[in-house]
Amino acid sequence: MDRPMRQVCVVTGATSGIGRWIALGLARAGYHVVLVCRDRQRSIAVADWIAREVPGCSTETKLADLSSLRATHDLGQQIAAAHPRLSLLVNNAGILTAQRQLSAEGRELVLTVNHLAPFVLTDALEGALRAGSPARIVNVGSSTSDRAWIDPDNLELAHHWRMVRAYRRSKLAMMMSTFARAERLRGSGVVANVVHPGMVATDLVRERGATGLVWRLLAPLLRTAEQGADTPLHVALAPDWAEVTGAYVKDRAAVRPNRRALDAALVRKVDASTHALAAQTLSARVPA
């Protein structure tokens, strides 16, 4: 007798931190896990680790630099072509930098990796998620968004950039566009939610200077990556979350988000600005 086909899920930032534990949990749940990674050797290592932990699991790796919206869009198209029916997308990859940096495409880096790339990837995979419904989108946010303010006309913080301000804003922008997408997807069988994993000791901060040192000193006081994966996995897998959409989740429970994320007019403006930034970047593609 043929074995039933596995449901397919996609996890970004799968080589380290909570991403690898989310991927492991989904493999244990029987999914075919598409691991989106930046580095080939690390992607091989995490796939091997999951295979050792879950004999008989099914994984594949996809390499992409999520600081490039073009590469992210192409990745989404490749995954959708290979897997026209998806059950789950976990946008987990994130970054925090001590200095304002631009991507190779000229976009502010923190906003790009934390918000624009998940937005573009989800756009590219939305058709496959609809085809695979019931399906779920789980976006890994941050409680720092609770204290953020946002200007839809200045998402990239062209002026007065600060590390924490940029990170907070990127996560609030992600949340607001997630809520906008959840509304667009109502009735489609696809739900979209934002999850705060807790304060987790990960390699989110890539700096080697004072910022990285402070982060490493704080690490013993924070949750482990395995603990941080608990709430994202719960929202991805629990039957109780199959029909919940447009929620902000901490410690497995829906909580009230930043009041700005409840302002429908502001949410629409942020989402429209996100669309515009993504379209502008993608339309600048140089023909092969």
Cis peptide before 134 (omega within 30 of 0): yes
Q: Are 266 and 152 in contact (CB under 8 A)?
A: yes
d(CA 7, CA 87): 6
DSSP 96: B
d(CA 39, CA 248): 31
Residue 272: closest CA among 119, 101, 68: 119
**Cα-to-chain-centroid distance, residue 266:** 22
CA dist list (Å): 281 to 69, 115, 277: 7, 14, 6
Burial of 19 (0-12, 13-18, 19+ CB in 10 A): buried
- Residues facing 200 on adjacent strands: 223
Q: Are 58 and 6 in contact (CB under 8 A)?
A: yes
* 49: enclosing H helix or E strand: helix 40-53
- Residues facing 58 on adjacent strands: 32
d(CA 227, CA 126): 29
Active site residues: 167
Cis peptide before 287 (omega within 30 of 0): no
Residue 171: closest CA among 149, 199, 200, 201: 149
* 197: enclosing H helix or E strand: none
